[in-house]
Amino acid sequence: MSKNAFCLQVPKKDGERTLKIANKLGLTDKTLLIQKGKDDLLYIPLIRQLEEKELTLLTTHVPQLKLGAKSFLKKNKQPQTLADVLKNELEPTLLGALPRAIDVVGDIAIIEIPPRLEAYKHLVGNAILKTHKNIRTVLAKAGAVKGTYRLREFEFIVGEQKTKTLHKENGCSYFVDVAKAYFSPRLSSEHNRVASLVQSGENIVDLFAGVGPFVVLIAKKHPDVKVYGVDINADAIDLLKKNARLNRVENRVYAVAGDARQVVNEKLEGVADRVIMNLPETAVEFIDTACKALKSSGGVVHFYGFVRLNESIENLKQRFVAAVEKSGRQVKIFSYIKPVRETAPREYQVVLDTKIL
Ligand SMILES: C[S@@+](CC[C@H](N)C(=O)[O-])C[C@H]1O[C@@H](n2cnc3c(N)ncnc32)[C@H](O)[C@@H]1O
């Protein structure tokens, strides 16, 4: 689409200066594309003809400036929201049901399609490709996170049919396969918070490491630590090893495939200054394992649990303290307690940072 407009003709070398003045005077037509002409000339579209004093000002600064008129291409405005793109295709009530939260993992968008929009899911997927230029694939959640590996099923909606991608988080890059190993972009701040607490020279054990967003980041931030990442899912450990290499921290990352309890019993007893336990569903069953992994002098545990409906954080703390004491250790202090995110209606993932003796 094009439009005729008055314009300024200037040598390319004067383009930036001219544009600055024209913008200041509010003369540039920003809906049209500036054109390059022959002989290194630029054509800057205007919203109207110049007044005498505006021309004088411009030519004082850019003596070679000439006036003209020509046809300019209109800028392709990128639609901002899904509702913008779909406003002519969906009724207002359906527009109101469009997904607000889109999880972006690398170039994959993961959405929840409400039942009312089931018949329009491809329309919604294509609108996401239009509004998010970095997205190549749209997947819909097709169930809850479940099972030992904490995976969910996805339905392919549009784009490239794939579940593997490269995700960037906190300055690190991660190979992720959302169908084969757990990964949530919503934990980015938590990964960073924990990594920032690590002290020089520590040994860290992540009992449920996944593809390594705690492990790799800690190793990257702290060149003088050793980080052990355990996961029962062999695919997660393969990705963790790749991610350690990708971020050049393989010399301080030790990735072990297996059940956390067994791995600690066999290889990691008494090695840790810090233990990370991000398996909120069942981490409570592994508190004895975390205690066993800690050095005899004690250390820090980052424990994640769910608090649902009428349960309270206080309940979670009590269960934690009881399990620690059953393992012959003591909770010296809870240094940080906070809901990390809402995981379902009235269900929160909560973190307890504790010092254990
Ligand atoms: C919620 S994910 C957390 C992954 C990672 N820490 C993160 O922040 O993305 C929990 C991980 O624990 C692993 N897991 C479950 N049971 C386990 C066990 N008994 N021993 C070791 N890993 C286990 C799962 O395979 C999954 O990758």
Residue nearest to atom 1 of ligand 1 (CA): 279
Write down the mean pLDDT value for the chain: 94
- Give how far Cα 193 sits from Cα of 36, 338, 340, Å: 49, 12, 11
Measured between alpha carbons, how far is 298 from 314 in angstroms, rounded to an integer?
A: 23
Per-residue confidence (pLDDT) for residue 344, from 0 to 100: 81
Measured between alpha carbons, how far is 23 from 160 in angstroms, rounded to an integer?
A: 41
Per-residue confidence (pLDDT) for residue 141, from 0 to 100: 97
Measured between alpha carbons, how far is 301 from 331 in angstroms, rounded to an integer?
A: 10
Q: Report pLDDT digits (tens) over 329-348.
A: 999 999 999 889 888 878 89
Measured between alpha carbons, how far is 8 from 75 in angstroms, rounded to an integer?
A: 18
The residues, ordered by sequence, that sit 6+ positions from 14 with a Cβ below 8 Å of its Cβ are 62, 64, 65
All structural domains of the chain: 2-73 (3.30.70.2580), 82-162 (3.30.300.110), 182-356 (3.40.50.150)
- Phi/psi class of residue 258: alpha, beta or left (left: φ > 0; alpha: ψ in -120 to 50)? left
The residues, ordered by sequence, that sit 6+ positions from 138 with a Cβ below 8 Å of its Cβ are 108, 109, 111, 124, 125, 128, 129, 157, 158, 159
Residue nearest to atom 16 of ligand 1 (CA): 148
Q: Report pLDDT digits (tens) over 9-30.
A: 999 999 999 999 999 899 999 8
Under the banding of pLDDT at 50, 70 and 90, the label for residue 294 is very high
SS3 call for 274: strand
SS3 call for 2: strand
The residues, ordered by sequence, that sit 6+ positions from 170 with a Cβ below 8 Å of its Cβ are 188, 191, 192, 195, 213, 217
Does residue 79 surpass a pLDDT of 80? no
Q: Please state the rounded mean pLDDT for residues 37-45.
A: 91
Per-residue confidence (pLDDT) for residue 310, from 0 to 100: 75
Ligand 1 pocket, Cβ-based, cut-off 6 angstroms: 148-150, 181-183, 187, 208-210, 213-214, 230-233, 236, 259-260, 278-279
Shortest-distance atom of ligand 1 to CA 230: 21
Q: Please state the rounded mean pLDDT for residues 97-109.
A: 94
Does residue 222 surpass a pLDDT of 80? yes
**Which amino acid appears at position 113 of this protein?**
I
Q: Which residue has the tokens 């809850």?
A: 144
Q: Are 134 and 107 in contact (CB under 8 A)?
A: yes
Ligand 1 pocket check: which of 230, 279, 350 to mutate, most ligand atoms within 8 Å of Cβ? 279
Tokens linked to 338: 């906070």
Other Cβ atoms less than 10 A from the Cβ of 4: the count is: 11
Q: Are 156 and 142 in contact (CB under 8 A)?
A: no
Strands (E) located in 12-133:
35-36, 41-45, 66-73, 103-105, 108-111
Q: Report pLDDT digits (tens) over 200-210.
A: 999 999 999 99
Q: Report pLDDT digits (tens) over 112-169.
A: 999 999 999 999 999 999 999 899 999 999 999 999 999 999 999 999 999 999 999 9
Q: Structure pTM?
A: 0.80
Under the banding of pLDDT at 50, 70 and 90, the label for residue 110 is very high
Does residue 78 surpass a pLDDT of 90? no
Under the banding of pLDDT at 50, 70 and 90, the label for residue 309 is confident
